[in-house]
Chains A and B, each alone.
Chain A
């Protein structure tokens, strides 16, 4: 299957700082990338859908000014958590797909801890 990487795998930051998470499709061109968030013992919640070269589409309740998504190329999408607060601490996972596939391929996730 297709491979998706995320960087960093783990990040700890102070409250008020911004954190950038990268998601890369390593062996295919991802026309669409998704960002999910998972709280402990909860389902994966879709935050936003991003298509290369266009603005991301955010799910209801997700602040687009707080969670900035950039999908500048067919292999890279970034999620920036701006002015992070402790309640933003979570496991963030990206996924990618293209017209070749019916399923999404997920990255390994990034554990964000905001102190």
Chain B
């Protein structure tokens, strides 16, 4: 039973346009959500996070939106750049126990 789902295995966008990566979760106890970026044969790199008390968090070109009632979050990247091409993982945790549950990832390709 997958508690964090990223239903799109891949996404392709044009440079300069917006990339929207989606994530759904089923565990209502999750209250902290993170996005990680991963290149092949490397560990994930933290991008941005959001607590369940917020519905939006912005950091430069990256914005994460959280819709608690729909148990849905999304990562917006604008403008997208070719260097953003990577696999993006959505992750969630309960409280302060640090244990992360990951989605399967979405491969983003930004075309020049």
Residues of A whose CB lies within 8 Å of any CB of B are 1, 4, 6, 32, 34, 41-46, 49, 91, 93, 95, 97, 102-109, 111
Contacts and interface: CB of A to CB of B under 8 A. Distances in A.
Contacts, number: 53
Nearest to B43: A106
Given A43-B89, A43-B105, A102-B32, A111 B100 contact: no
Nearest to B107: A41
Interface in B66-112: 89, 98-105
A103 B91 CA distance: 10
Interface of B: 4, 9, 32, 34, 36, 41-46, 49, 89, 98-105
Given A42-B104, A43-B89, A43-B103, A107 B43 contact: yes
B41 A103 contact: no
A93 B99 CA distance: 14
B100 A1 contact: no
Contacts of B43: 4, 6, 93, 95, 106-109
Interface centre among A49, A103, A105, A107 (most CB of B within 10 A): A103
A95 B43 CA distance: 9
